[in-house]
A and B are shown apart, each in its own frame.
Chain A
Amino acid sequence: MISIEGVLWPTVVMGVLGLVFGALLAFASIKFFVKTDERVSMIREILPGANCGGCGYPGCDGYANGVVNEGAKMNLCAAGGPVVAQKIAEIMGVTVEQEDSTPLRAVLRCAGSPRSSARNVVYDGIQDCRSAAVLPGGSPNACPFSCMGLGTCVKVCPFGAMSIVDGLASIDPKKCVGCGACISACPKSVLTLAPNTSVAWVTCNSKWKGPDVKKVCSVGCIGCSLCARVCPEKAIAVDGNLAVIDFAKCTGCGMCMAKCPAGCINAPVPIAKAV
């Protein structure tokens, strides 16, 4: 049987204990009050609070402290973008540095969905790319450079911009702020940051020679250099059997895409001329 005392006493005891310690802490917080720079808390208020680490500091608190006390740049917050940089600058009482504030976003350098590329094994282990990457051969996929589609990037993305579509990581460009959390989590380095204005990137990460790529994947870069030759801006170089686009030079004319025999240069967004 439940007696009143059996419920009342524990409640009272825990309540009193809680109150005593609460009062103690309240007293201590006044007695040992430390004056902090109020700009730190003001900047902390403005920051998005995603704690993505894209600025290079451990979390938003660290960055706010870094700006005020360690002279960190004010435009490091990728999630907040120029708007937040502007506000931080207002608090610090200086004008914001406008250079290198091109918004970035993550792009996937792989198109090898289960339909277009071979799998070595059916992976049934822990659903995490970082554990699948320690398999002999480096991947359940026949191509060791490819996206494994187990969603580690989805789990680490603080903004919900990642998803797995058709066995490949997919990035919502509207939600992606370019913080780079997915890039450091991906064991295959198959994600990279590209300027938001960029229209073309190589959707392949394979350093293998052409014939080897063809054996395992129908949409892999074979390093044929056709794109590099056709590019009027000389923005493409083939480095180790893999085409690499220099985003600074690319104007998005689309000639490489038309020429690529493997179809591994991508342009899913409308062409906005990069400046």
Chain B
Amino acid sequence: MDLLWILLGSMFVNNIIFSRFLGCCPFLGVSTKTDTAKGMGVAVIFVLVLAAVMTWLAFHMVLVPLGLEYLYTLSFILIIAALVQFVELVLKKINPVLYKSLGIFLPLITTNCAVLGVAVINMNENYTLAESVVNALGSSMGFLLALLLMSGIRERIDRNTNVPQCLQGLPIALVTAGLMSMAFMGFAGIIK
């Protein structure tokens, strides 16, 4: 039951983008088309869950026994960077279409603070391996959800509305993101 709460909590209440404000760069960059948003979201789910497992293992199996907890930032970044490279290689081989549509955004996951953020949250909350994985899954599904909602809205904005020239593109996207964030704040307090 705890796991379900963690999943729902990280997906809606503590949505990685709308409540924690992590990973805003890819959120704004990839949310112009639903197709790319989907691809990016799935890639993030994949990377984030893998990264959560790897960082949990590295932290609890290597750093804690040696008393080197303070090295967590350095080693987490190392793990995430290597993982993204790995995913890129694999994706290029098994799904070139997705690889092409992601383009520059796949390397961007390397510097996506959402990935590091979730790893650090798992560490701070003292989650077990299972809880970490569930938290990572929920967070990345929240990321996908945010991207899908946003891309749907942005596609409609581009097509149907008369946005003033000074607000076209990124400005209206930021205003939209702010409004959506406020909406998501309505979940606050439902689950810790």
- Determine whether the beta carbon of A25 is less than 8 Å from that of B82: yes
State in angstroms the CA–CA spacing of A14 and B76 once bound together: 11
CB distance from A16 to the nearest CB of B (A): 9
Asked if A56 is an interface residue, CB under 8 A from chain B, the answer is: no
Whether the pair B85, A17 counts as a contact (CB closer than 8 A) is no
Cα–Cα distance between A110 and B104 once the two chains are bound (Å): 38
From A24, A32, A34, A58, give the contact of B82 (CB < 8 A): A24
A7 to chain B minimum Cβ distance, whole angstroms, is: 11
A182 to chain B, nearest CB (A): 21
Report how far A32 CA is from B85 CA in the complex, Å.
12
A127 to chain B, nearest CB (A): 21
Q: For the complex, what is the distance from the CA of A28 to the CA of B86, rounded to whole Å?
A: 7
Q: Cα distance A9–B66 when bound, in Å? A: 8
Distance between B69 CB and nearest chain A CB, rounded to angstroms: 11
B90 and chain A: residue at smallest CB distance: A32
Please pick, from A17, A32, A33, the residue contacting B62 in the complex, using a CB distance under 8 A: A17
Q: Does B63 belong to the interface (CB within 8 Å)?
A: yes
Please tell me if B93 contacts chain A, counting CB pairs below 8 Å.
yes
B89 at the interface (CB under 8 A from A): yes
CA distance A155 to B89 in the complex (A): 35
Size of the A side of the interface (Cβ < 8 Å), in residues, is 17
Q: Which chain B residues numbered 115 to 169 have a C-beta less than 8 Å away from chain A?
A: 166
**Proximity string of chain A (221-260) to chain B, C-beta cutoff 8 Å, 1 when within and 0 when not:** 0000000000000000000000000000000000000000
Q: Quick check: is B4 within 8 A (CB to CB) of the other chain?
A: no
Q: Which residues of A sit under 8 angstroms from B78, Cβ to Cβ?
A: 14, 17-18, 21
A18 vs B90: C-alpha distance in the bound complex, in angstroms?
20
Q: Which residues of the partner chain A approach B75 to less than 8 Å between Cβ atoms? A: 13-14, 17
User: Whole-angstrom distance between the alpha carbons of A34 and B89 in the complex?
Assistant: 9
Q: Does B60 contact A (CB under 8 A)?
A: no
Chain B residues 54-109 with CB under 8 Å of chain A are 58, 62-63, 66, 68, 71, 74-75, 78-79, 82, 85-86, 89-90, 92-94, 96, 104
A14, A21, A22: residue with the most chain B Cβ atoms closer than 10 Å: A21
Interchain residue pairs with CB less than 8 A apart (7)? A13-B66, A28-B89, A32-B93, A33-B93, A34-B96, A58-B104, A134-B166
Q: What are the nearest 7 A-B pairs in CB distance? A: A21-B82, A32-B93, A32-B89, A28-B89, A34-B92, A28-B86, A34-B93
Residues on B lying within 8 angstroms of A by beta carbon are 58, 62-63, 66, 68, 71, 74-75, 78-79, 82, 85-86, 89-90, 92-94, 96, 104, 166
Q: Which residues of A contact B (CB under 8 A)?
A: 9-10, 13-14, 17-18, 21-22, 24-25, 28-29, 32-34, 58, 134
